[in-house]
Structure 1
């Protein structure tokens, strides 16, 4: 586990209350993370490839007013779930998301949560690599023309694996997540530049936007923005290990970090989504950067910025996914504490290496980020709403089984509401994603090599 889990407990454990399942002991950290550094870690975990999809999501949902209203509503539950996770991790003495769930929901919760985390983090890592692939294609297409992919050293088949090996691989073997706090600061700065670029281009770019929606085509379109919002604000898997690494591990300190981070995310996503959508309207692509001309040096710098951001975020998601896979491995083999500690280093390195290599290979053959984000948005709903809701419900019932206190009755009602919202969003988003994939026979292709090849064939046969 990444950090020490010792803190002042929020709830005193009674003598007859069962102890949580034993977990591997962790030596206390030499120095913890300050709350401003935690802000960078949380922001970097949340901000990422989802930002590029916000303008199109605003269009699909029916315009700015509708999309921003849905975002504001979901943010209430998103922020509340962060505090719930801090309380639950303290109660369970946990340093990872899946261990917090394990401490309250038992072995079934551990298996379900770990599997979902591994799948979500893996899919997100693939999405990040698709972004790197697409942006490198945009750069070389602008510099060398549409035939760039015929030159081996410009093809993403070469550039993506090499750059990932150079810039991502060295960051993937850390035992503690706060090792990435300095890289996170660089990644956050890169996103701020991208926000500034989208804003400036709206006022100075001279683009002719497509149709601007003011209402959804059908009422169900309102929900089309949900997967992007859930994917964009999902930092919940990362916040538990970040919380465990805080120098002063208290809910107050954590809440300060979390609220600051969410405020930064809200401002960043809203600016990018609003001005990106107003710039291109209905013509906006799933990756808004691909709508600009990469020959523009400012756009080129933006492409470099999102690449830097992606390189610094990938290791955070790999860390969380790696911990989930290792937890499943240890639990599945029934290893005790000493046996699990013996092979920890090689196990960590093997899982991280296999994770990285396989995600690179999958990213090379996946058409675009749009459909991936929709599917990941449904999984994100589990981490934001369902698991925190179930954990809060169990926590309240352990403390007050008869619900004698009014506060506990309100907390129970909120836990049920949180879980219900999550189940609704998960089912709806998953259904919408599958329906759209079936209707369009797969996501739109953003691989410029494929696009250029298809265009050439159409011109030859036209």
Structure 2
């Protein structure tokens, strides 16, 4: 998700220099009369953090165990906060306004293109994960309003509904030259995620364990093989998807600098507090929804959590409302993600050419076709989380902050900050390489 309705205020410079940081409170009182408050900035950052990854964390807990998951999620959250700390230090030193500009400052046009390409792939993966939710959940939402048996009907085919939705809703909204109003309405998606977590907690006691064999709770026969005892630690081939899913879930770094630049009375310590509080609150919501989702289905939890509730509580009012809210959040968010994805592509390929409506339409159409095909032909949302999380998410979350700081900082290499940046770089490379290798091995084993 993107920060809801955030815009960059550049009236007094996009960001503060190192010397200006000392006088940030004075600037806030005497010059900057506008800007986002601390609370609104926290909300915007949480809106940037929380997205479709929340649907895959229960599966990640099932594949790592409750304690194992808790430790890994905490480590990822702490590393995310530390990498934001490095980004803010670089922002103050170089007065940049975006992640791409950091790449330009560190490695010239090659660095800028590398970051833009990474953001493009990350956004394509994010949009594909959202469209996968439409493909898997919209048929259940439609069936919830129908009586009788409609199995086999075209209007319950997720692929057909996905294509119709993208052609009629996503594509027209993404084609608009300006779509600022969706920035405000997309803020609703954050509240939808909170409501999702609340319903997951409530429905923990609505589904019996062991689970019914025929996917309805009224049926008396139950599976004797299902275990109802949570595992504290677990390691299997499926565990390879856990860390990438967590990295995918905590990625907000492309929104940090714009939020910092529009913060009222901006300073590094103030923005770091915004980031820390946003990550802590997101961690709590993520952990609660993952824990109670896992304690509901245990080893039978689906890689996309809502699919389990569609099986066992197909007509439950709360589940239906959650499904509708999640679908609405997707429809409001996908067109927004089109904009930075299209901007990144045009910047890489047509950076020296003036704006063209024909190019605008063709690039938007091509992106829409790509993400629809990915959503249709990728069989499992965990594959999206795994591949995107172990590559682009790991780069944006760990590798690039450490690499750029090591390059841009004038501190000696034996300094604590630079050693930490190098450690973050090495850790990110190891996490990404190991996760992608294990995921590839897992695919080969399944084949």
Q: Same fold (TM over 0.5)?
A: yes
Q: Which stretch shows the higher mean deviation, 147-156 or 353-362?
A: 147-156
Give distance in 1, aligned partners of 2:185 and 2:33.
20
Q: For residues 179-216 of structure 1, give each alpha carbon's deviation from its aligned partner in whole angstroms, at most 9, with x where no partner exists.
A: 54422321011111110111001134334364332222
**Is 2:375 the counterpart of 1:355?**
no
Which of 313, 328, 343 matches 1:308? 328
Give distance in 2, aligned partners of 1:263 and 1:190.
18
Give distance in 1, aligned partners of 2:177 and 2:274.
22
Task: Name the residue aligned to 2:400.
Answer: 387
Pairing 1:137-286 to 2, within 5 Å after superposition: 137-141=139-143, 148=150, 150-169=152-171, 171-172=173-174, 180-208=182-210, 210-211=226-227, 212-217=230-235, 224-246=241-263, 248-286=265-303
**Is 2:419 the counterpart of 1:413?**
yes
Which of 425, 432, 441 matches 1:435? 441
Q: What is the total number of aligned residue pairs between the two structures?
A: 409
Q: For residues 317-365 of structure 1, give each alpha carbon's deviation from its aligned partner in whole angstroms, at most 9, with x where no partner exists.
A: 323322221221245xxx2xxxx5x316664454334322432233223
Whether the 8 Å CA contact 2:67–2:232 is kept in 1: the answer is yes
Aligned-residue offset at 1:64: 0.5
Which of 317, 320, 337 matches 1:297? 317
Task: Name the residue aligned to 1:378.
Answer: 390
Q: For residues 135-171 of structure 1, give each alpha carbon's deviation from its aligned partner in whole angstroms, at most 9, with x where no partner exists.
A: 0122345565897464334433443233345554455
Q: For residues 2-24 of structure 1, give each alpha carbon's deviation from its aligned partner in whole angstroms, at most 9, with x where no partner exists.
A: 735524534359xxxxxxxxxxx
Aligned-residue offset at 1:313: 2.8
Aligned to 1:172, the other structure's residue is in SS state helix
Which of 105, 116, 121 matches 2:118? 116
CA RMSD after TM alignment: 3.1
Any stretches of 5+ residues in structure 1 without a counterpart?
Answer: 14-28, 442-462
Aligned-residue offset at 1:261: 2.0
Give distance in 2, aligned partners of 1:119 and 1:438.
23
Give distance in 1, aligned partners of 2:148 and 2:258.
45
Any stretches of 5+ residues in structure 2 without a counterpart?
Answer: 1-6, 21-31, 212-225
Distance change >3 Å, CA 171–CA 365, structure 1 → 2: same
Aligned-residue offset at 1:96: 2.6
Q: For residues 215-241 of structure 1, give each alpha carbon's deviation from its aligned partner in whole angstroms, at most 9, with x where no partner exists.
A: 2246x8765421111011111123333
Pairing 1:28-67 to 2, within 5 Å after superposition: 32-61=35-64, 63-67=65-69
Whether the 8 Å CA contact 2:84–2:253 is kept in 1: the answer is yes
Aligned-residue offset at 1:113: 1.8
Give distance in 1, aligned partners of 2:275 and 2:370.
32
